Amino acid sequence: LPIQSLQKDLAGAVQEAVDLATPAEKEGKPAPEATVDAKDLSSIEQLLVGGPLHEAKHEILGLKEKAIEHSEDLVEITALDSAFSETKVAQRLRNRLNTMIDSVDTLVSQIEEEKRMVEETIIDPAMPDSVAAKRYANELGKVYSKSGGKVPRRAPFHFSLF
C-alpha cells in the first residue's frame, strides 16, 4: 500500500514535469536548463527505495510471516502424528523470537513517530508556537499514559509565566 502511493506520487511528479516542459517546446523556445543537486537526488532515491526505515519495516514483516508459517507448519505436523511435538527449547526460542520481533517493531514505530514530529517541525517553521504546543501536549500524553491514567502530583517539567 505505501509503495503504491509512492509510485502514484512519483508518476504525478513525472507527469507534472512533462506538462511543464511541453509548452516551452511548442513555442520553439529552448527550455531552461534545470539543475539537480545531491539533496534532490537523495530525496528522489528515498522516494523510490523507501530508505532504511522502510527496509527495516519490510524485513520485520518478512520475519513475522516466516514465524507464522512456522507455527502453521508445526500445527499441521502435530495434527498428522501426535508423536511429533515441539520441544520446550523450540518453544522458548519461538517465544523469544516473537518478543524480539515485537520489540523491534515497536522501536521502528517510535522512530517513525519521531520522524513525523521532525517533519512536522520542518514543514511549518513559521509557527514555532504551534510546534511547541504540540510537543508539550505530546509529552503530557506520554506522562499521563506512563502513570496508568493518573495525573502525577508533580509535573515532569516546570513552566513559569513570568
CA distance 45 to 38: 10
- Looking at the structure of the chain, the number of domains it has is 2
**Do the domain assignments include residue 26?**
no
What pLDDT, in 10s, does the model give residues 125-150?
566 566 566 666 666 666 666 666 55
Best CA proximity match to 10, nearest among 47, 38, 45:
47
Rg (Cα) of the chain, in Å, rounded?
26
Residues 77 and 112 occupy one common structural domain: no
**Do the domain assignments include residue 156?**
no
Structural domain harbouring 55? 37-85
What pLDDT, in 10s, does the model give residues 29-65?
555 666 767 777 777 776 666 677 778 888 888 989 9
Q: How many CB atoms lie within 10 A of CB 78?
A: 13
Residues 67 and 43 occupy one common structural domain: yes
Say whether pTM exceeds 0.85: no
